Amino acid sequence: MDDYNPYARLAAMPSFTLTSTDVADGQPLPAAQFGTSAGGSNVSPQLSWSGFPADTKSFAVTVYDPDAPTGSGFWHWAVFNIPVDVTSLATGAGAPDSGLLPAGAVTLPNELRLARFDGAAPPEGTGVHRYFTVVHAVGVASLDIDSESTPAILGFNLNFTSLARAIIVPTGEFGGTAA
């Protein structure tokens, strides 16, 4: 793992508070947040946020691994158009049939081209991976992005519409579910 931060090259913006009952900043992911291929359950973590700018109109949530051995990282989850009155997501909201995302929220296909949360599955020999779990406070109520777009397209749009972002970065490595 190096110190590359995918948000460091983007425009600086204020932060707000992001907490989770499932994952913690700088701490190893629990088994549930690993992918099934890595012995986990592909369960998206519970997230709660507060202290965002008063002029926030909606939220987006992304989970990104910049340490994946791809040259372009790995998007695990990307959800946008979360209404401004929603300030938490329950554990498992990333499952397409969970019914836990609010009406109007859009989940983009992840790197596996599946519109759901995909848990961590670091390949053997690739060290510790970081999972940038980010809530973006967005200055528009609705982003007009095709539901088949990539999370990178969402990220591009968020760069120009976000007012603030809150970040926690849990970690994971090969064999992490055995801990």
Show the 3-state SS of 37-97.
HHCCCCCCCCEEEECCCCCCCEEEEEEEECCCCCCCCEEEEEEEEEECCCCEECCCCCCCC
- Residue 156: the pLDDT is 97
d(CA 165, CA 149): 21
Which pTM does this prediction carry?
0.96
Q: Give the fold, CATH level 3, of 17-178.
A: Phosphatidylethanolamine-binding Protein (3.90.280)
Q: Where are the domains of the chain?
A: 17-178
Mean pLDDT of 134-153: 98
- Residue 2: the pLDDT is 62
- Residue 39: the pLDDT is 93
